[in-house]
């Protein structure tokens, strides 16, 4: 098994997630930053349960389409948090699992880049 740093796609996903963490918390750049994902005992983000159900059913491609369709209906901050949670969750899946669910690591990278571009606007 390759280490995360040896896999180019995994390295890109990690760097994009770090960049998003910085962008989301740039109001105080002197502080260390980290991306914190909602825990089970915390209140779920809007539509998180629906996406989690699709992920559990291995319908990753369908879940990604649903996420994109949710963007205009949510506040930007909630959409960004939901998106980071979504891509982080999918990133924990193997390439084979993702392919079985009609998704890929490349699609995760593309989704994170799109989020980064949205934040830059």
Distance between CA atoms of residues 101 and 58, nearest Å: 5
What residue segments make up the domains of the chain, in order of their start? 4-120
The pLDDT score that the predictor gives to residue 10 is 76
The pLDDT score that the predictor gives to residue 41 is 52
Question: Model confidence over 69-110: pLDDT tens digits?
Answer: 999 999 999 999 999 999 999 999 999 999 999 999 999 999
- Cβ within 8 Å of residue 28, ≥6 positions away: none
Confidence of residue 1 (pLDDT cuts 50, 70, 90): very low
What does the block give as tokens for 101? 């669910």
First to last CA, the chain: 38
The pLDDT score that the predictor gives to residue 9 is 78
Question: Model confidence over 48-69: pLDDT tens digits?
Answer: 999 999 999 999 999 999 999 9
Report the candidate in 38, 121, 32 with the shortest Cα–Cα distance to residue 84: 38
What does the block give as tokens for 34? 């980290």
């Amino acid at each position: 098994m390759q280490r995360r740093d040896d896999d180019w796609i995994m390295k890109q996903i990690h760097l994009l997630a770090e960049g998003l963490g910085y962008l989301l918390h740039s109001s105080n750049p002197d502080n260390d930053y980290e991306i914190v994902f909602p825990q089970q005992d915390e209140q779920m983000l809007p539509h998180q349960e629906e996406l989690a159900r699709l992920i559990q059913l291995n319908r990753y491609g369908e879940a990604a389409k649903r996420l994109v369709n949710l963007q205009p209906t949510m506040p930007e901050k909630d959409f960004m948090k939901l998106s980071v949670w979504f891509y982080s969750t999918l990133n924990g899946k193997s390439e084979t699992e993702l392919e079985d669910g009609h998704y890929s690591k490349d699609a995760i990278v593309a989704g994170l880049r799109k989020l980064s571009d949205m934040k830059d606007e």
